[in-house]
Amino acid sequence: MTDFHKMLQGGAAPVYLLHGEETFLTRQASAWLRAKALEGAVEDFNLDRFDAQGALNPAEIVEAARTMPMMAARRVVWVKNAEGLFGRKADDLKSLIDYISAPDPSTCLILQAMEKARKNVALFKRAQKHGCVAEFNALSQRQVLPWVQSQAKQYKRRIDQDAAALMAEAIGADLAGLDDALSRLNLFASPGAVLSVEDVRAVVAHTRTHTIWELTDALAQRDQGEVLTRARQILEQGEHPLRVLGAITRQMRQLLIGRSLRAQGLDSAEVCKVAGVPSFLSRAFMQQLDLYSGEELLAALDALSDTDRALKGSKLPGDLLLEGLLLNLSQPRGR
């Protein structure tokens, strides 16, 4: 559950730019702002909607923004698909840019973009200077589990950690899909009950056909053909190479921790708990511990770190860099 009150300055700013690749959070932020600004007001009289996807005249936005609220403290001018504005010439947007420089305090202007807005243009710079800009990026795999646990509170529910992990494994970082699953779980489970692994298995379909666990299993077996097949399947599901890299890195770290804990004499349940591995994956995790040496895991983490830097700084395609790394990690022992 995102703290929109803190992120969006309590809803008090006269201009908002909401943008980023995580459109579920962008839509939620926009809905929160509209509700906050129109609290106690008649929406029909104080909300103007525009869609910048077509040939929208910026002067229409400005005219609506300069209109006084009716029987309310504030009015809202909501521009959907605002990413369309950021590709226009500054001259075409002059009236809107000028308005943002001196906005009407009784209006809440919301520019809601469904992708990252261009930051090197006058419209962005003016919104950043005179308003509030909030960028919503896709969550990493590590962030998904706590997000699920937090989002469950929206439904006045608690969710077991293993149940949240199973949802993350089944659905991935699709926040809209995760929220929909939580909504269905809320209706399925007994009132007041903690959402459990059994509830998730009964309600949530496994929408991610291919997972990082399958990929790391193939890596551990040194099956290069299977490794490349699994990697391509995951990328075809829409996962970004950096996200795949991050998930593999996290799992390699867990395996390194697991080897250390097992060497100290901890049983499998304790090893998995301390390493942060959910119970439904504990058997696969303990099997993978036998397939890697500590030296191999440390070398893999070094290679993963090098590839992370390359992905962030190289002009080479990300899937090509990831493929090269995976071929290196899956070389048969002794080479």
Whole-number percent of the chain with pLDDT over 70: 97
Tell me how far apart the alpha carbons of residues 51 and 63 are, in angstroms, rounded to a whole number: 15
Would strands 75-80 and 132-135 be described as parallel, antiparallel, or unpaired? unpaired
Confidence (pLDDT) at 201:
87
What value, to the nearest 5°, has the Cα angle with vertex 73 and ends 67 and 77? 45
Which residue ranges does the chain devote to CATH 1.10.8.60?
Answer: 141-203
How far are the Cα atoms of 45, 127, 130, 144 from residue 120, in angstroms, in the given order?
A: 35, 12, 16, 31
Confidence (pLDDT) at 223:
85
Task: Assign domain 4-135 one CATH number from 3.30.1490.100, 3.40.50.300, 3.40.1350.10, 3.20.20.70.
Answer: 3.40.50.300
Q: Is the pLDDT of residue 34 over 90?
A: yes
Contact 259, 292 (CB under 8 A): yes
Match 């299977």 to its residue by tokens.
226
Q: Is the pLDDT of residue 253 over 80?
A: yes
Dihedral of CA 154/160/162/167: which sign? Answer: negative
Q: Give first-to-last CA distance, the chain, whole Å.
A: 48
What are the structure tokens assigned to 32, written together?
A: 């929160």
Q: Note the pLDDT tens digit of each residue in 263-274.
A: 999 999 899 889
Residues ≥6 apart with Cβ < 8 Å to 157? 182, 185, 186, 189, 194, 195
Cα 274 from chain centroid (whole Å): 25
Q: Note the pLDDT tens digit of each residue in 66-82.
A: 999 999 999 999 999 99
Look at 49-53, 132-136, 258-262, 288-292 and tell me which has the smallest mean pLDDT: 288-292
Contact 18, 44 (CB under 8 A): no
Which residue ranges does the chain devote to CATH 3.40.50.300?
Answer: 4-135
CA atoms within 13 A on the CB side of 211: 18
What are the φ/ψ torsions at residue 264 (nearest 5 degrees)? -85, -5
Class of domain 212-329: mainly alpha
Which residue ranges does the chain devote to CATH 1.20.272.10?
Answer: 212-329
How far are the Cα atoms of 119, 150, 173, 174 from residue 147, in angstroms, in the given order?
A: 28, 5, 10, 11
Domain 141-203 has CATH 1.10.8.60: yes
Q: Note the pLDDT tens digit of each residue in 86-120.
A: 988 989 999 999 999 999 999 999 999 999 999 99
How far are the Cα atoms of 17, 122, 132, 227 from residue 125, in angstroms, in the given order?
A: 11, 5, 11, 44
Tell me how far apart the alpha carbons of residues 44 and 38 are, in angstroms, rounded to a whole number: 10
Q: Which residues pair with residue 18 across a beta bridge?
A: 112, 134
Full-prediction pTM beyond 0.75? no
